[in-house]
Chains A and B, each alone.
Chain A
Amino acid sequence: MSSREVVLGSIRRSLGVSGREAPRRQAVADRLAHHPRGLVPERGQRPPAERLEVFRQMVEAAAGTVAKLPRAEDVPAAVAAFLRAHNLPMAVRRGDDPRLAGLPWERAGALEVTTGASDGHQLVAVSHAFGGVAETGTLILLSGRDNPTTLNFLPDTHIVVVEARDVAGDYETVLARLREKFGAGEMPRTVNMITGPSRSADIEQMLILGAHGPRRLHVLVVGEA
C-alpha cells in the first residue's frame, strides 16, 4: 500500500467513514464551489471614502507610510520626493507592469529606473499592487513579470502603488477579484499579502523593523475611491 493510501485509510478508519458517502461528498463539493463568506468585521464594510481613511490608519499602525496622489502621473515625482526625503540614492527597480511602464518617469529628474526581478543589489523597488484591504492596511501583490516577487523582499525600501478604487474593505472582496481574473480554483504562483515593513522581535522581544525584508514600506494611493 502507498503512503497515500495508508494516510487516507487511517483518516477514514478514525472518522468511521468510507469516503463514498454522498452527503459528505456533497457538503465538500458545495463548500468548494460556493466558498461562502464568513463573518466580515464592520471595520471592513465602511463606505468608500471612509474605507480609504481606515486603510491609511491601518497601514500607519503597521509602521508603513501613505501618500495620496490625485493622478497616476504624479507617481514618479512622489517616488523621487520620498527618496530625497530619506537620503536614498535616486535609483529604483520595477517590473513590467504597464501601469508603471506608462508613467512619465522622465518628470522625476535624475531618477534611474531599471526593470526586472531583484538579485539583492537594489535598494529601492516600486511595485503596483493588485489591491488593498482596509480592515488591516494590507496590500495584495501578485507574482509574475509585471511585479516580480523578489522586489517585495530583497530591496531595503519598498514603494507600492495602489489605485484607490482597488482598495477594498475586506479580504473577501479581493479574493472575489482574484477568482474573476484567474478563474475558479486558479491562482498565480504567489499572492503576497503585505501589512507594513518587515520586522522581528526575536531579541528580548524588542520590535525592530527591517529583519530580512524591507525596513520601509511606502504606499502611494492613486485617484479617488
Chain B
Amino acid sequence: MSEIVTSPAFKENARAALADVDLQQALKSVEVNFIAKRRASADKLPEFEALRDAARDIKDHTLAHLDLYLEAYEQRLTAAGGQIHYAVSAEEARAIILGICRKVDAKTVTKGKSMVGEEIAINAHLESHGITPVETDLGEYLIQIRGELPSHIIAPAVHLTKAQIEADFRRVHTHLPADRNLEEHTTLLAEARAVLRERFLAADVGITGANFLVAETGSSIIVTNEGNGDLSQTLPKIHIVLATIEKLVPTLEDASQILRVLARSATGQEMSVYTTISTGPRRPDDPDGPGEYHVVILDNGRSSMLGGDFQDMLRCIRCGACMNHCPVYHAVGGHAYGWVYPGPMGAVLTPSLIGVDKAGHLPNASTFCGRCEAVCPVRIPLPRMMRRWREREFERHLQPATMRYGLAVWAFLAKRPRLYALATSAAAFGLGWLGRAKGRFRSLPLAGGWTRHRDFPAPEQRTFQAQWRGRKRR
C-alpha cells in the first residue's frame, strides 16, 4: 500500500486546493471538456444506454462466477506459456515483481500506466532496491518527475500547467541545451518522446496494467492512446502484467461489449487508439516481443468485497467519468482525496482498501447530486454506497462526538412529533427574538462551521409548520 496516505486530512487538503489558482484553472477545463466530449460521443451511438446495461450484466455475471473464471483464465494463460503469480497483498505483489526483475538483473523498468501500480507503490519499492522505474505515459511521467500521486485516474497530470511542466523538464533533462525552446505544447511532447524513446530501447523489463483479463483465451488487454504501453511490453525481455482479480471477463465478445462504453465514457473517443490483446510470450518464430510473460494477479482486499455491500464497486472499469462529472472533484481536484483513487469511485473504493478509519472523510465528500451514477458506464450506485459508508462510519463511532450527540438529540426529537414542534418553535422564537435587530447572526454557538464563512439568518419567529397550519386555517 502506498505510504503517502493523506486521506484523513481531506478537509485541510480541500481547503488548500480551493486556494490554488493554477489548480482551479485546470479543474475548470476538466469540467468543460470531459463532460462535453462524453455527451457528444454517447449521443452519436443510439445503443449507448443499452450497451451500459450489457456491460453491467457482464461484470455482474463474472463476479458471481469469479472463482471459476479465474481458474479457466489461469489454465489458458499457462497453456500459452505465460506464468501466473497470485498475490494476496500489495506487499506480496511488490516482492513478486522485484523477484522477477532481479532474476534478469534488471536496471531499468519501463512502465505503462497502471493504477494498481500506484496502489501498491511499486516504483518506490523498485527504487529502494536499486532498479530505476520509468513511467512512460506522458501524464504519469510528469507526476513521477514531480514525486506526486496521480490527480485523475485517466489524466494523471491534469492538475499541471504548461509552465510547471516546462520548469520540471528544465530541472530534470539537464543533458539537453539550457537555451532550448519549450514554449509550445508540441515541443514539450517532442522532448518527452525523445527522452522516453531512449528509455524504452534500454529497458530490461516492462510492466503494464490490464484493462481486462480474458478467461477464454488467457489474454490481457491494455487500452492506451499514446502507444507507450505497447512499447513497454514489446521491447524488453520480460513483460509483467499487474492486474487485480476483478479485471476478468469471460470472452473476447464480452470485452468488446465493454470496450464500446469504455473510451466513450472516458475521453469521448469512439475507441482508444491502441487496444492490445496479449497472450503469452514471444512465439518460436516471432521477430519481436518479450521472451517471458508474467501476470501478477492481486487481491488486496477485493475478494472480501464480494457478496457484500460494496460488491458493485468491483464492476468499475476505471473510465474516470464519475470524477469528470463530480462537483466536489471539480472544486478540489484529485490530490485532496489523499490517496490513489479520487472522485466518487475513490470515495467508495478507498475505504474498502485502506480502511474507513483512514478514509472516512471521503464518503462525506459528496453532495449526493447523483451525476456519477448517471454517467457510470457499468451503472455503479455510487451515491448509495457512499451513504452506506457513512452509516458504517456512524456505527463504528468514527465521527466527532458533537456530531454524534447532535444527531442523537435530533433523532430523539424527530421520533416525537409534539416534542419536536415544541422544541423547534422555542428555538425559532428564541433565535428570531435574539436576532430581531439585524436579522442575522455573525456567530452562533455550535454553528461555527456555517458562520465562519457567512452570516446565519435569524429565523421568522414561528416555524414553517406553525405558519403552514396558520395559513390553512385562514
Contacts and interface: CB of A to CB of B under 8 A. Distances in A.
Interface of A: 2-4, 6-8, 10-12, 14-17, 19, 24-25, 27-28, 31-32, 35-39, 41-43, 58, 61-62, 95, 116-120, 135-138, 143-145, 148-150, 152-154, 170-172, 175, 178, 185-206, 208, 210-214
Contacts, number: 274
A6 B155 CA distance: 34
A37 B54 CA distance: 11
Contact of B274 (A117, A172, A188, A194): A194
Interface stretch (B11-19, B211-219, B416-424): B211-219
Nearest to A184: B216
Given A11-B70, A38-B257, A208-B185, 14 more contacts: A6-B86, A41-B47, A120-B197, A120-B201, A144-B286, A150-B288, A170-B256, A186-B80, A195-B269, A200-B226, A202-B139, A203-B185, A205-B29, A210-B189
A31 B269 CA distance: 29
A195 B297 CA distance: 29
Given A11-B306, A15-B64, A31-B251, A198 B226 contact: yes
Identify which of A4, A11, A148 gathers the most chain B CB atoms within 10 Å of its CB.
Answer: A11
A23 to B, nearest CB: 10
A78 B299 CA distance: 52
20 contacts: A8-B70, A11-B70, A14-B305, A25-B68, A31-B61, A61-B270, A62-B273, A143-B286, A150-B234, A153-B230, A185-B216, A185-B218, A188-B283, A189-B281, A190-B278, A195-B273, A201-B155, A202-B138, A206-B185, A213-B231
Nearest to B283: A189
A35 B216 contact: yes
A185 B88 CA distance: 28
Interface of B: 26, 29-30, 33, 45-47, 50-51, 54, 58, 61, 64-72, 76, 80, 85-88, 92, 136-139, 142, 155-158, 160-162, 165, 185-186, 188-189, 193, 196-197, 200-201, 215-219, 225-228, 230-231, 234-235, 245, 250-254, 256-257, 259-260, 267, 269-283, 285-289, 297, 299, 303-308
Contact of B234 (A135, A149, A196): A149
B225 A200 contact: yes
Contacts of A10: 299, 303-304
Contacts of B251: 31-32, 35-36
B67 A8 contact: yes
A211 B253 contact: no
Identify which of B87, B196, B227 gathers the most chain A CB atoms within 10 Å of its CB.
Answer: B227
A211 B287 contact: no
Q: 6 closest A-B pairs (Cβ-Cβ)? A: A213-B227, A211-B226, A14-B306, A202-B139, A10-B303, A35-B251
Contact of B51 (A39, A175, A200): A39
A2 B138 CA distance: 38
B272 A195 contact: yes
Contacts of B267: 201
B286 A145 contact: yes
B185 A149 contact: no
